[in-house]
Amino acid sequence: MAGPVRIVVVGCGAAGLAAATHAKSVNERSKVVVLEKRRYAVYHPCSIPDAVAGLVELSSLVGEPPLATGLEVRTSTLVEDVDVGGRVVHARDLRSGGKLKLEFDALVLATGSKPSVPRGLRIEDSRGVFAVKTLEDAEAIAEAAGKHPSAVVVGGSALGVELAHALARRGVKVALLELSPHLLPGELDSDVAREVEKRLEAEGVALVLGDAATEISGEAGAKRVVTGSGRVLEAGFVVIATGVRANSELARRMGLEIGATGGVRVDERMATSTGCVYAAGGVAEVRELLTGRPILSPFASTAYLTGRVAGINAAGGEARLRGVLRSWVANIGGFKFGATGLTETEAREAGFNALSATVAVRDKPALYPDSRLLTVKLVADGDSGRVLGAQVAGEGDALGALNLAAAAVTGGFTVEDLCSLELAYAPSLSELVHPLRAASEALLRRLGRAGLARR
Amino acid sequence: MAGPVRIVVVGCGAAGLAAATHAKSVNERSKVVVLEKRRYAVYHPCSIPDAVAGLVELSSLVGEPPLATGLEVRTSTLVEDVDVGGRVVHARDLRSGGKLKLEFDALVLATGSKPSVPRGLRIEDSRGVFAVKTLEDAEAIAEAAGKHPSAVVVGGSALGVELAHALARRGVKVALLELSPHLLPGELDSDVAREVEKRLEAEGVALVLGDAATEISGEAGAKRVVTGSGRVLEAGFVVIATGVRANSELARRMGLEIGATGGVRVDERMATSTGCVYAAGGVAEVRELLTGRPILSPFASTAYLTGRVAGINAAGGEARLRGVLRSWVANIGGFKFGATGLTETEAREAGFNALSATVAVRDKPALYPDSRLLTVKLVADGDSGRVLGAQVAGEGDALGALNLAAAAVTGGFTVEDLCSLELAYAPSLSELVHPLRAASEALLRRLGRAGLARR
């Protein structure tokens, strides 16, 4: 590798940290400075629902930055401007107010995503209305949950579902509002989403589906959420989880090309339209692996991968991102749900001759007391037999099934390849017929019946 | 698919059952008869250590055979001879003594493996000496454990380790004897095996390594095990877990070709030297995926895969086995160990320029109370960068890491491919840097330092 490289990383989330550590790993002599406007360097945003539920301490969500010679994380530091031509970052120390100038050879933009409120939603009174992004948000929600007996969660995203569940676990009466006729639209097919809906209902969460919030009014403790259909939901506080958008203000100021998704355009090396500047994580527009479609992928898994690629290239190494799967999983009190690759709906929309099979099977033999059910939906291309994606829901080993499916999609496996995979077996840990195998075998039969290639 | 096919399956283990159900699945009109000499159709042999440990009821190990029209399991039925030319099975009903003649179009031999006692071991008195294969063996061991305060387990295989641990858990003072200088020779490299050794020692099992049992004498309650080095181990009873061999007596009588491993020679379709006869499971000689080396693979995972291929082909379908990985995992009270693909030792012996990296990392963030450590050793070919195998040991999610590694080996992934895999993440379920990813990144650095291809 080349000589010392000065690298500035903007943002200390999963993408920024991955970029910084991989830059160091590729080039030990690189000097990496991570600039973060928060007062704490590292935290676990994905653990916020668990903290709200009381499963983990809120203070435990703050972590230590990695220690390495030539790797520095500066907190409370806001990047105000980047002189791309002159390769200088202008930042401000939010504690002292002092100005900071940092020269760089390569810069990684990892400003992440920010909560997005739909245009059609008017917030007349923002008291008792919370986003879910920072530890301060989490603290405020936990405090509100201690004060008010009821809440409305707006948005049936994975985060919305997790938050609704967390609040219900704390004894708060929760209504969850989602515009689509099913939860997790775009993330799960409706049949798998139905499993999540059943679980939430069993935990006492009231689901309001196919209806959008249009107005939020009233002071904290007496909030009113009016919906498109004219319904009025009353609650002590409101949590907004209507999705995120790319946090691309700085990128725009820097003159970087922005895609139609609102994310920063990058190539396979995560390089932006300006050669020495890379982007990674929620701010970057990436390509879905199977369709090549430009998307935003705000998941931590994608952030890590893109950060890794950006960091390696920024430090003079060579790495490419072939595309993202949007592998994700959520856990509400032991009931897990998640997906990787394309849903059946997405696959059809993308023009695949998509076929699917769904099974609900045990993850280990019933004779073991911790044997649990898992629903697995596997989607494949009927023409090529290629695995396109998987979705899971249930108390069984969802992560194992999802990660295997992610490997299968990435590896270009056919359904027959998945059926031929030799998985490890111990009855106290797994079924001989792994849930993903059960789904694969069911799908192979369906492919066979449809008269399609048995590969 | 073709018309009705009469299929006889000999043996109702994992291979036989997989053959039977897949034959039905490929050809609904096939008539499948499974002949099993045991008085119970289905049981979980891999759960015997858990039953001995008292974690599950011994009676719960017996299961129900699958129900399907045209699929029959006949228990207490011993196959005495097979007229391959005339396509007739001659069997005997062990209850009534009656003779049975069954015509077939295709036959699947799934007689499994049987416990193997080393030639150098003389058993002078077999009272209080147990093998570990059947439920009756399990019952006898459990009974002995209730009577005698001490035991010697001969053989440091996975089964030997599980049994030693199970007996120790029941309060029996256990010595585990293994000829090799480390446990699990041929299954784990010595560094990973050392983790298992440490765990067993912590549980009070006395390890006697690098020494072989040569003589077992004395009556039950006063057994003496004499070793090659002249050591004398005294114990109430002895369990023999010195491995297994192919149960190929019937195959030999049928005149099937037998390989150097002692297993029945088969092609990729699991067809034996006699076209209409297939073999699967522990009785079949299979090919190791990466080396093509003929091996026996007595694992349930292999039995299922080979049974599936044999059953599909027997019923007129088309399936091929590319090779086996010998994916396996064992669980001793929450501490798991296992492997897939080649160990570093095996890879070197096979002529690969094998490199490895071993990490010991958490499977989820430490802020979660069920966060556990997992040691992962990843082996790759330094020339091509291709993943050759993985070994795991620890309380963390061993199964998830092993199965992912199995997919990587099967898919021909390079270490860089593994690093680029987008795995699902939720902090209550996983680390953002998955243990297998941590091992992959460490190995990629090593490949880089060795000046080898970064792929």
Determine whether A229 is exposed, middle or buried from the number of CB atoms within 10 Å of its CB (0-12, 13-18, 19+).
exposed
For B130-184, the pLDDT digits (tens) are 999 999 999 999 999 999 999 999 999 999 999 999 999 999 999 999 999 999 9
Global pTM exceeds 0.90: yes
Domain B122-242: CATH superfamily, name plus number: FAD/NAD(P)-binding domain (3.50.50.60)
B321 at the A interface (CB within 8 A)? yes
Q: Annotated catalytic, A46?
A: yes
B455 at the A interface (CB within 8 A)? no
Shared fold status for B6-113+245-314 and B122-242: yes
Cβ separation A336–B427 shorter than 8 A: no
> Spelled out in words, what is the top-level CATH class assigned to the domain A6-47+55-113+245-314?
alpha beta
- Residue pair B199/B331 in contact (Cβ under 8 Å)? The answer is no
Please identify among residues 359-398 of chain B the ones whose CB lies closer than 8 Å to any CB of chain A.
365, 367-368, 397-398
Question: How close is the nearest chain A Cα to the Cα of B417, in Å?
Answer: 9
- CA-nearest residue to B338 within chain A is A424
- CA-nearest residue to B369 within chain A is A56
Going by pLDDT thresholds of 50, 70 and 90, the confidence category of residue A455 is very low
> Which stretches does DSSP call E strand in A314-364?
328-332, 335-341, 354-362
Cβ separation B300–A425 shorter than 8 A: yes
Q: How far apart, in whole angstroms, are the C-alpha atoms of residue B12 and residue B44? A: 11
For B236-295, the pLDDT digits (tens) are 999 999 999 999 999 999 999 999 999 999 999 999 999 899 999 999 999 999 999 999
Domain A334-449: CATH superfamily, name plus number: FAD/NAD(P)-binding domain (3.50.50.60)
A122 at the B interface (CB within 8 A)? no
Determine whether A196 is exposed, middle or buried from the number of CB atoms within 10 Å of its CB (0-12, 13-18, 19+).
buried
Of B324, B303, B174, nearest to B241 by C-alpha is: B174
Look over chain B and give the mean of its residue pLDDT values, rounded to a whole number: 95
Q: What is the CATH number of domain B6-113+245-314?
A: 3.50.50.60
Q: How far apart, in whole angstroms, are the C-alpha atoms of residue B175 and residue B173? A: 7
Secondary structure, 3-state, chain B: CCCCCEEEEECCCHHHHHHHHHHHHHCCCCEEEEECCCCCCEECHHHHHHHHCCCCCHHHHEECCCCECCEEEECCEEEEEEECCCCEEEEEECCCCCEEEEECCEEEECCCEEECCCCCCEECCCCCEECCCCHHHHHHHHHHHHHCCEEEEECCCHHHHHHHHHHHHCCCEEEEEECCCCCCCCCCCHHHHHHHHHHHHHCCCEEEECCCEEEEECCCCCEEEEECCCCEEEECEEEECCCEEECCHHHHHCCCCECCCCCEECCCCCECCCCCEEECHHHEEEEECCCCCEECCCCHHHHHHHHHHHHHHHCCCCCCCCCECCCEEEEECCEEEEEEECCHHHHHHCCCCEEEEEEEEECCCCCCCCCCEEEEEEEEECCCCEEEEEEEEECCCHHHHHHHHHHHHHCCCEHHHHHCCCCCCCCCCCCCCCHHHHHHHHHHHHHHHCCCCCC
Of B302, B319, B425, the CB nearest to A301: B425
SS3 A63: strand
Q: What is the CATH number of domain B336-449?
A: 3.30.390.30
Of A279, A262, A299, A242, nearest to A45 by C-alpha is: A299
Please identify among residues 5-24 of chain A the ones whose CB lies closer than 8 Å to any CB of chain B.
14
Please identify among residues 265-304 of chain A the ones whose CB lies closer than 8 Å to any CB of chain B.
299-302, 304
Q: How far apart, in whole angstroms, are the C-alpha atoms of residue B342 and residue B410? A: 12
Place of tokens 């379709």: B269
Residues in chain B within 8 Å Cβ distance of A319:
416
The predicted pLDDT at position B1 comes to: 45
Q: List the domain boundaries for chain B.
A: 6-113+245-314, 122-242, 336-449
Going by pLDDT thresholds of 50, 70 and 90, the confidence category of residue B67 is confident
Of A25, A319, A427, the CB nearest to B445: A25
Residues in chain A within 8 Å Cβ distance of B427:
44, 46-47, 50
For B309-358, the pLDDT digits (tens) are 999 999 999 999 999 999 999 999 999 999 999 999 999 999 999 999 99
The predicted pLDDT at position B454 comes to: 43
Going by pLDDT thresholds of 50, 70 and 90, the confidence category of residue A1 is very low
Joined tokens for residue A344? 């059946």
For A49-106, the pLDDT digits (tens) are 999 999 999 999 998 888 889 999 999 999 999 999 999 999 999 999 999 999 999 9
For B258-273, the pLDDT digits (tens) are 999 999 999 999 999 9
Cβ separation B397–A400 shorter than 8 A: yes
Of A25, A46, A423, the CB nearest to B426: A46
Cβ separation B50–A427 shorter than 8 A: yes
Of B330, B424, B429, B434, nearest to B370 by C-alpha is: B429
Residues in chain B within 8 Å Cβ distance of A329:
424-426, 429-430
Cβ separation A425–B44 shorter than 8 A: no
Residues in chain A within 8 Å Cβ distance of B404:
403-404, 407
Give A11's DSSP letter.
-
- CA-nearest residue to B302 within chain A is A422
A341 at the B interface (CB within 8 A)? no
pLDDT above 70 coverage of chain B, percent = 98
